[in-house]
Structures are given as structure tokens and as C-alpha cells.
């Protein structure tokens, strides 16, 4: 079960680096065909994940110290029985990876799989994410 809102942070920057490596490995294994590209934005790092056919990015992994967020471009449309998705925008939603319990990894993988399957219909996500904003 996910932790309550407001607990989206890492214990230290070294913990954040470890969690970033784990998150990138999770995304690679959950969506092996995805094309990852990095976009530096301010003090943080952003990794965009798009289908191999050159379509728009449907996932965005945002390093916003001390937070690590996984944004779903069309998250509002995704089934989320585990309640991992946060945010209230018209389209996008995010998962605070620091708040995902180990027992919720299967649910997170399912969200990634559904997002990847719908990649052809997704729109480009906002890569101009403002650091400190969570949605």
C-alpha cells in the first residue's frame, strides 16, 4: 500500500541515487522496447520514455531532490485499483516512487504496461516540469 501524501521524499541524496538506478532498471524491465532520453531541467534530471516508433513520450521519470516521481502522460485514463496514481490534472498523473511499497511493484508494473500499450494514442508530456511541483 502506498504511503500517505506528503511522504514523497528520500532519506538522503545517496538514497535518491540508488532509487533512481532502481527506477530506471524497473522501467527498462517493464517496458523493454521504450526509448529513454534524458532532458536536463534546472537542478533536476528528467528521463523521457517513448515507444520505439518515435512516438511521443508517455512516461517521465523526474528527479526533483529529494523526490523521485514517475509521471504518466495519460494517467487520468489508466485503471489504478491499487491507488498509486496521484494528482488531479485533466490528463496526467504521477506516482511518488518513494511512497511505493515493495508489495505494490506489480501494480506499478501494470500501470507502466497499460501506459506503454496506449502509447500510440498518447500526447507528448510537458517536459518543462517546474522543480518542486508534483503534478
Specify the CATH class of 13-121 in words.
alpha beta
CB 57 within 8 A of CB 125: yes
The pLDDT, as a whole number, for residue 2 is 44
Per-residue pLDDT for 126 more than 60?
no
Q: What is the DSSP letter of 15?
A: H
CB 14 within 8 A of CB 66: no
Sign of the torsion angle spanned by Cα atoms 67, 125, 111, 21: negative
The pLDDT, as a whole number, for residue 132 is 55
Q: What is the DSSP letter of 123?
A: -
Termini Cα distance of the chain:
21
> In terms of Cα–Cα distance, which of 52, 19, 20, 15 is closest to 36?
52
Position 37 confidence tier, pLDDT thresholds 50, 70, 90: very high
- Residue 14 cell numbers, joined: 545517496
Domain ranges for the chain, please list them. 13-121
Mean pLDDT (whole number) for 8-15: 64
- Full-model pTM: 0.80
Residues 15-33: tens digit of each pLDDT: 888 989 999 999 999 999 9
What is the edge-to-edge ordering of all strands in the sheet holding 44-50? 35-41, 44-50, 59-64, 67-72, 93-96
121: how many CB neighbours lie within 10 A of its CB?
11
CB 8 within 8 A of CB 99: yes
Amino acid at each position: 500500500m502506498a504511503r500517505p501524501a506528503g511522504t514523497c521524499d528520500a532519506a538522503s541524496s545517496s538514497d535518491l541515487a540508488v532509487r533512481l538506478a532502481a527506477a530506471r532498471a524497473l522501467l527498462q524491465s517493464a517496458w523493454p522496447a521504450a526509448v529513454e532520453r534524458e532532458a536536463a531541467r534546472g537542478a533536476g534530471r528528467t528521463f523521457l520514455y517513448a515507444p520505439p516508433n518515435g512516438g511521443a513520450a508517455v512516461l517521465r521519470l523526474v528527479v526533483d531532490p529529494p523526490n523521485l516521481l514517475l509521471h504518466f502522460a495519460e494517467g487520468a485514463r489508466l485503471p489504478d485499483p491499487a491507488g498509486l496514481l496521484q494528482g488531479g490534472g485533466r490528463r496526467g498523473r504521477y506516482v511518488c516512487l518513494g511512497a511505493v511499497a515493495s508489495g505494490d511493484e506489480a501494480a506499478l508494473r501494470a500501470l507502466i504496461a497499460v501506459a506503454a500499450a496506449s502509447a500510440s494514442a498518447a500526447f507528448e508530456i510537458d517536459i518543462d516540469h517546474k522543480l518542486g511541483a508534483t503534478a
